[in-house]
Amino acid sequence: MTENEAAASPEGSKPETSRADERPRPRYGELAPEGWEWKPPAPPAASEPPAPAAPPAAPTAPWPPAPTGPASAGLAAPTAPRTPAEALRADRRITIALLVFGLFGLWMAINTLSSIPEALQLLHSQQGLADYVASEGDMRTILIGNVVQGVLWVATAIWAVLRMQHARRAFWVPLVGGVLSVILLFAVVSMVAANDPLLMQLPGAV
């Protein structure tokens, strides 16, 4: 049987053991040459491994560079905020200092009130008035003023100490006590001077 007859014969008549059946179906009516074997196409060549990523660029140094070493020792470091305990300790020191200063102010206020008769006598002499004689009411006013000055300082000190014991700010308490002490001093001086009729007759006297 020729190749043309074999090709024209039906597929059912082909022997199962023929080598022609084991070969791939010919294309365009042609048979593959003897000994040729069909192989699947090779997969595409694997792409080359990606190039390693470039290392990250080093951070640029600030310009001008920050001073380091002994040269930067003179720069002032940022001060940390004070803690409440440190603030209370500072408040306590200030309060105690103001109370001591207030004690000195109390001594000056008592001396000033006690010397009112002498100051009025000197004023009488300068103005050509008769000698000043302090009345019993003036001396009582001066005595009350001295007692109130002492009581005011003691009350201020007690109030400030109580606030410090309860961990509260107390520096403003002596300041308030000092303001009240000055107001009391001027009030007593004005009351004693107002009780002097000769001094009130001077021009410009209230």
Dump pLDDT digits (tens) for 103-155.
Answer: 999 999 999 999 999 988 888 888 887 888 888 888 999 999 999 999 999 99
pLDDT higher than threshold 90 for residue 73: no
Going from the C-alpha of 202 to that of each of 21, 108, 130, 193, the distances in angstroms are 152, 29, 13, 12
Say whether pTM exceeds 0.75. Answer: no
CB atoms < 10 A from the CB of 146, how many?
Answer: 18
Mean pLDDT of the chain: 76
Give 96's pLDDT tier (boundaries 50, 70, 90): very high
Q: Rounded to 5, what percent of the chain is helix, strand, coil?
A: 60, 0, 40
Most confident stretch, 63-77, 111-125, 171-185 = 171-185
HSE-CB for 61 with a 13 A CA cutoff: 5
Mean pLDDT of 67-92: 66
Could you read off the pLDDT of 41-50 as tens digits, one per residue?
666 555 555 5
For residue 5, pLDDT beyond 80: no
Domain ranges of the chain: 88-200
Query: Residue 190 pLDDT more than 70?
Result: yes
CA 121, chain centre distance (Å): 59
Torsion of CA 21, 25, 29, 32, to 10 degrees: -80
